[in-house]
Structures are given as C-alpha cells and as structure tokens.
Chains A and B, each alone.
Chain A
Amino acid sequence: MNTVFAPKPTLFQLVGKFWHKHRWSYFFIAPSMILFFIFIAYPVAQAVLLAFQKVDLRGGDWVGLKNFQDLGASKLFWSSMQHTFVYAVFIVIAWITSSMIVASLIQPLVAPVQALFRAAFYLPNVISIVVISLVWIWIFDPDFGFFNYLLTLVGLPKVLWLQNPDIALWSIVLSTVLIVPGSGVVLYSAAMGSVPRDYYEAAEVEGANVLQKLLHITFPLLKPTTLYLTVIYTIAGFQIFERVYIMTNGGPINSTTTIVQLIFQTAFSDFNFGRASAEALILFAIIAVCSLIQFKFLSTDVEY
C-alpha cells in the first residue's frame, strides 16, 4: 500500500493561509491601531528618547543620563516627589476607607434608595476639577472663607489654609479627601451586593458578630474591588496636578509642588522637554512599581 504524504506548506503559504483566515479581523482593528500608533505609541517612544536629549528650538542633542543626574541633584525634584507621595498615600487610604464606609451604609437600604445615593455620590465626578478647586479657594480664603468663618464662630483664630507653607499641602489633601469618590462608592456597593447572603447566614449560625463578619467575609470578598480601586487611586494620587495648579500653583515656598506640576513647569515654562521627559519617565516607573507591589499583596484567589 502506498502512503501519500502531503507536501509541507511553505512559509509563504502559511502566511497566506493566516491572512486569508484573519484578514477581516486585522481590517477592522486597523483604524484604532493606526490611531494608537500615531497618537500614543509614537509620542511615548519619542518621550523616552527625549529623556536622553537636551532639546531646544534647534533640535535635540544626545546627553545620555545627564537629565536624570540633574534631577538627582535637584532639591525641587525631591521635594515635589515627597509632596506627591504624601498626597498619594493619604488620598488612597482616605478614599478607600470613605468609599467602603459609605457603600456599607448604603447597602442595607432598599434598591431605589441605594440607586439614589449612588447617583448622589457619583455626581461630583461629573463636575470639572477646576470648578471644584475654585470653590475650595473660596472655602480656604483667609478673610472671607467658609472654614475661617466657622473658626471665628467658635472663637478660634483664623488659619492661613493655603498661605502657610506648613499646612498648605495638608489643606489640599483635606480638600481632596473630604469629597467621597463616587466611583469607589458605586464599585464597592456593587461588590457588596454580589456577596452571597449564605455566607453571612452561616456565620451568624456559628455565632459571628458584626466585626467578625466584616473581617472574615466582607473584606476578603471585596479584595478584587479594593485592588482595582487602590491601583486606580494611586495612579490618580501620583498624577495630582489641576488642584495644585489652581489652588496654590505649587507655592507657597514650593511647599505644594508635585511631580506632574514640575513636569508641566519644566516642559511649558522652561521648555526643557528633555528634562521634563526624564521626570515623566521616573513618574511612570514609580507608578508601575507601586502597581506591581499592590498586585503582589492585594491580588487574591478568592472566588465566589
């Protein structure tokens, strides 16, 4: 009996077959991929290259790691890093805590009321941060501000919320954490709603109290949501810009300068795009490392 072997397909044939099978897929994703490469991938690659150049109107000169060395020697860079870290840490803790508390308070309510509260807490998200910051400037005004008005009512001296370099950063943190993030409330509320009631009933049968139920059922089952929110809020914290730019512009005495504001200043006041790109690259690395650490410690295999 003769055995007939099919000839091995050539590379050209394999590519042709692949193309024949998938061409429509590539055709449909082409527009978005082209836009992605033009408006995201290419600028990002350019920014990485710029970080190693000295750039002015005549073009760029390759300077190796000089921009990074200069940043290492810059007091302003390190202080802006410190301010950014302080801001990010406080807002992540405050936002996670406050949104979890609000979501747990909403949870026992009937569905329509829950929806009403979710919408109410989400509403500030649709207001421009510029408007919110302007309102906070008024609240912090030393002579006519709402906070100082409250202080004078109880006989306390006025506070220079945004003018005193020792407290200006804390005032900005305060203005951020006092607004409960709507996204956190909505996500936690949804996550809490999807935890099976059986677990709580079983725990109650076993005699678990409220705190034990919270620690051993609710928190572990909310870990995926907590991880997501922690990563998102950390990124938002490190990217703080508009609020500082509008409320203090980094002052007084550079006490509220943050890293993104420094990038903005370096790029668009000094027009030192090489150094600004180096700052942006460092920020990217910090956010990436923080996100990896968060994934490492908060990711979970709990399924329900």
Chain B
Amino acid sequence: MKRLFTLFTLIIAIALLVACATPTVAPTTAPKPAEPTKAPAPKQVTITFYQRGYTAGGTDVTSVTTDKAIEIFQKNNPNIKINLVGIPWTTEGDTKLEAALAAKTDINLFRVTSVNLPRYAKQGVLSEITPFLTDDDKNDFYPSGFQVATIDGKVWAWPLWVTAISTFANTDIFKERGVDLPTMAKPWTWDQFVDACKKLTYKKADGTQVYGFQSSSAWGAVEYYPLMYIDGGRILSEDGKKFVQNQPNGISALQKIADLALVHKCTPPDFGTVDQVGARAQFKERKTIAMLMSTPGFMPDLENNKFPVAAIPPPTGTTGKLVTNGAFGLYTVVKVDDQDKLKAAHEFAKYLTGSQVAKDITGWQQAPGLRRSNTGYATSPNREVIAKLVEFGVYEAPVATPAELGNNYGAALQAIILGKKTAKQAMDDIAPDYQKELDALNK
C-alpha cells in the first residue's frame, strides 16, 4: 500500500511538472545569414482590440464590417496585426472589459461608452489622443465630438458617430389620420406636436388602440432626451459643474413631457417605464404607435423590413430651435509602455473613426459621423434627416457620477412622467444630491 501511495504521488508530481514546464520550440529552419545593407523593416506589432457587439463568424452588421475593417487595415499596414476580442453590449461585456483593464492583460483599443469614459480617464488607464491628431483631423471633427471626449482639458477618445435621436413616424397611420409630416425646414412647434399626438391617438376599426407618441423611458435606456432641451434647459451647466435642470427652462420641458401622458393622454400606459425593446416592438410589430422617438440604430431594421417610416425632427420648444441629443460612439486607446503598440493602436483608432473606413466598407456607418468629411451615413432621405440633426445636438459634459445618483435621477424622471411628482418637485428633490456629487468630483 505504501509503495502504491508513493508511486501515485510521484506520477501526479511528474505530471504537474510536465504541465507547468515552459515549452521549448526547436528551430525548424537553419538561421539565415544576415542580409546586407537594407533599410530596417517596420517592427511587427500586435494590438488587441475589444469590439462591442462583435461575434466571431457573426452575420450581423457590426461583426461583418469589423472583420472587413481589420482586413483592410492590416493589408494597408502589414506590420500591424489586430487581435480581435468581441464583447457584448451588456453587463457581461462591461465586466470582461473591466477585468482586462484591471488585470492589465492584452488590451490596446476598445469601444467606450460616453458614460464610462470619464471614469477610465480619471483612473489613468487611457492614452490621450491629442499627440496623434493632425491639423486636418482637428479641423475635420465637429466640436461636439471632442466635447464629449474631453475630460480635465484632455481628449481621451476618437469620436466616431453620434446616435442623434429623431422621431420615427409610421406613415400609414399618419395617412389614415390625415396628419402631414413636419420637415427639417418647418418642424412642429410644441403645440402642433401635441395636436398631432392627440389626433394620432385613436382606436382602429378592429378595436386596436393606437397612441400618438412613445419613447423608451426605463432608466438606462431613455430616448426622449431631445425633448428635455427644447426650452433651452439642460441637466448640467456647460462646464459640468452645476446641476441646472431645476431652473425654469429645464422644468418646463420636463413638465411638457409628463403632460403628454398626464394631460393630453396620447402616450401608452407604459410610457415612463417601457424599455427600448418594448417601445420598438410596439412601433414595429404591434403597429400601435404613430411616433417613436429613438436612435438611428433602429433605422436599418425598419428599412430592411420595408416598414412605412419617415424620420422627422423633434418638435421645437420656447427657444424655437431644433435640438437633438444622443450617445457617442467612441474608440479609446489604453495607455501602455510599448510606444510601438501605442502608436499602432492610435493609427487603427484613427482609421476606424475616419471617413475612409465609411468609403471602404458599406454599412460601417450606423449613425451620423462626427467628421465633416464623413458623409457615409446619409444614404436615404430618412438618414439625411438624422444626419442633418447632428448639427443641432446639445450634449452634456462628461462627468463620472456614481450609479446610485443615476438611479435616483432616473427615478425622478419616472416620478414626473408617472405623475407622482411635478417636474419642479422632482428636480428640487434631486438637485442637492446631484450638486453634492458634482462638488465632490470637482474638489
């Protein structure tokens, strides 16, 4: 028994040693003699790129266009090899990304959300893009692109696009109710919008209830943001240091949104709590919504299904100005000591956010670009409307507020729409907590 035990232990120990040993690879070819005086070839660099929404072998737009972008970039830059890691647009993807950044494993470039950018920048894991920008780049980008990527006076991400929110109109319902579509040249005023919303709320002959307006409004997926800015108000002051939505022009816009449900009753019962999937299903599958305020990401789905849709501008408020809002598509580079990798990662980010990639790959541009030279998105009348809205964008300064504050702010918006608080009450209640966090961040 004793011998058997010793033998067993030895076998396991040897197996472990063998498994842990570093493999040595025997040279397969004899060493070549040194080449005579030839210019040194550029150093081979491999960079790791974390792409959101990418699935290896996937047939979706992101997966197909990303593969193609890498193929073209590698062909044009033979010394750079891209190692691609796909992560989903979910918490699982966030966690994988966060783990890679924390573990300081191979990660050189990734898609970043504008919400998370300030946190990463403050924690010192990113490489500033300014040294890699040419004068042409500086003139080509819209200022709003740099605005959302600027933290503490430095630009931390390459802006690709903005998901400029517009209103999608079901043209069949509009025709049925005899409502004319507004245009970019002649957008609806708020009163005209309310009149249309009420007219578009009706019961069909088969008993189906149709509602005039809907928008994703669950916290974390709010898509009625442009309406919050129509009276000239905003959430934070332009420098991001003061909470200002409790001022009259912020409150009046919020109350208008709530009144769509509470006074004019032209929104579905779940307005205020519905998420993006639910709101889009009501518009596209159930066809019970006349106007849906949403992001450009929904347009390909509608176009592919030949849905009777027209992109229309959001209504104007007391300022009389068109306004939109949306999230930004940004690529950011991780700070590493290896200067060759850093340079290669910025080169690749520049390509992914440039106007050339949109020309190289059909379908790459899923939202309006943030470069003046990038006109690849506006390929149909509906997309032209969305692209034109970009110049009317109002965006908040990037601020890394804690998730709990976001939760409480989201709850305040819901309380207004659900009629639990007036806009003034809700904003006055949240203002001290919001300001306290901003003050702490600005210390």
Whether the Cβ atoms of A160 and B269 lie closer than 8 Å is: yes
Residue A56 is within 8 A (CB to CB) of chain B in the complex = yes
Residue B408 is within 8 A (CB to CB) of chain A in the complex = yes
A138-B404 Cα distance, complex, nearest whole Å: 29
Q: In the complex, how many angstroms separate the beta carbon of A78 from the nearest chain B beta carbon?
A: 12
Binds B, one of A185-193, A233-241, A251-259, A286-294: A251-259
Whether the Cβ atoms of B95 and A268 lie closer than 8 Å is: yes
Q: In the complex, how many angstroms separate the beta carbon of A241 from the nearest chain B beta carbon?
A: 13
Residue B75 is within 8 A (CB to CB) of chain A in the complex = no
A44-B367 Cα distance, complex, nearest whole Å: 44
Q: In the complex, how many angstroms separate the beta carbon of A40 from the nearest chain B beta carbon?
A: 19
Whether the Cβ atoms of B288 and A57 lie closer than 8 Å is: no
Given A143, A163, A250, A271, which contacts B209 in the complex, CB threshold below 8 Å?
A143
Contact flags A18-43 to B (C-beta < 8 A → 1, else 0): 00000110010000000000000000
Q: Enumerate chain A residues within 8 angstroms of B124, measured Cβ to Cβ.
A: 58
Whether the Cβ atoms of B403 and A269 lie closer than 8 Å is: yes
Whether the Cβ atoms of B268 and A143 lie closer than 8 Å is: yes
Given B5, B119, B288, which contacts A143 in the complex, CB threshold below 8 Å?
B288
Whether the Cβ atoms of A165 and B418 lie closer than 8 Å is: yes
Whether the Cβ atoms of B404 and A57 lie closer than 8 Å is: no
Residue B220 is within 8 A (CB to CB) of chain A in the complex = yes
A58-B119 Cα distance, complex, nearest whole Å: 12
A271-B402 Cα distance, complex, nearest whole Å: 9
Whether the Cβ atoms of B5 and A249 lie closer than 8 Å is: no
Residue A220 is within 8 A (CB to CB) of chain B in the complex = no
A198-B408 Cα distance, complex, nearest whole Å: 61
Contact flags B267-279 to A (C-beta < 8 A → 1, else 0): 0111011010000
Whether the Cβ atoms of A57 and B120 lie closer than 8 Å is: yes
Whether the Cβ atoms of A163 and B269 lie closer than 8 Å is: yes
Residue A224 is within 8 A (CB to CB) of chain B in the complex = no
Contact flag A265-B407 (CB < 8 Å), given A158-B269, A163-B269: yes
Contact-residue size bin, chain A (C-beta under 8 Å from the other chain)? 20 to 34
Whether the Cβ atoms of A76 and B407 lie closer than 8 Å is: yes
Whether the Cβ atoms of A252 and B418 lie closer than 8 Å is: yes
Contact residues, B224-279 vs A (CB, 8 A):
268-270, 272-273, 275
A271-B407 Cα distance, complex, nearest whole Å: 14
Contact residues, A259-304 vs B (CB, 8 A):
264-266, 268-272
Whether the Cβ atoms of B415 and A253 lie closer than 8 Å is: yes
Q: Enumerate chain B residues within 8 angstroms of A252, measured Cβ to Cβ.
A: 272-273, 411, 414, 418
A233-B248 Cα distance, complex, nearest whole Å: 50
A83-B400 Cα distance, complex, nearest whole Å: 28
Residue A74 is within 8 A (CB to CB) of chain B in the complex = yes
Contact residues, B118-137 vs A (CB, 8 A):
119-120, 123-125
A265-B273 Cα distance, complex, nearest whole Å: 18
Q: In the complex, how many angstroms separate the beta carbon of A126 from the nearest chain B beta carbon?
A: 24
Chain B residue with minimal CB distance to A249?
A: B218
A143-B270 Cα distance, complex, nearest whole Å: 9
Whether the Cβ atoms of A163 and B415 lie closer than 8 Å is: no
A49-B74 Cα distance, complex, nearest whole Å: 45
A270-B220 Cα distance, complex, nearest whole Å: 13
Chain A residue with minimal CB distance to B400?
A: A270
Residue B388 is within 8 A (CB to CB) of chain A in the complex = no
A74-B436 Cα distance, complex, nearest whole Å: 13
Q: In the complex, how many angstroms separate the beta carbon of B416 from the nearest chain A beta carbon?
A: 10
Which of A76, A253, A271 is the most central at the interface, judged by chain B CB atoms within 10 Å of its CB? Answer: A253
Residue B359 is within 8 A (CB to CB) of chain A in the complex = no
Residue A91 is within 8 A (CB to CB) of chain B in the complex = no
Chain B residue with minimal CB distance to A79?
A: B411
Whether the Cβ atoms of A254 and B408 lie closer than 8 Å is: yes
Given B98, B125, B268, B403, which contacts A266 in the complex, CB threshold below 8 Å?
B403
Chain B residue with minimal CB distance to A269?
A: B403
Q: Enumerate chain A residues within 8 angstroms of B404, measured Cβ to Cβ.
A: 74, 76, 266, 270
Q: Enumerate chain B residues within 8 angstroms of A257, measured Cβ to Cβ.
A: 407
Contact flag A143-B269 (CB < 8 Å), given A254-B411, A270-B403, A272-B402: yes
Q: In the complex, how many angstroms separate the beta carbon of A93 from the nearest chain B beta carbon?
A: 29
A75-B430 Cα distance, complex, nearest whole Å: 12
Chain B residue with minimal CB distance to A56?
A: B123
Chain B residue with minimal CB distance to A142?
A: B269
Whether the Cβ atoms of B407 and A254 lie closer than 8 Å is: yes
Q: Enumerate chain A residues within 8 angstroms of B218, measured Cβ to Cβ.
A: 249, 251
Q: Which 8 A-B pairs have the closest CB atoms?
A: A270-B403, A142-B269, A253-B411, A269-B403, A163-B273, A252-B273, A57-B123, A254-B411
Further pairs besides A143-B269, A165-B415: 8, Cβ < 8 Å: A57-B98, A142-B269, A158-B269, A249-B220, A251-B410, A253-B414, A253-B418, A271-B119
The 7 listed contacts between A and B (C-beta, < 8 Å) are A142-B269, A158-B269, A163-B270, A165-B415, A249-B220, A251-B219, A270-B404
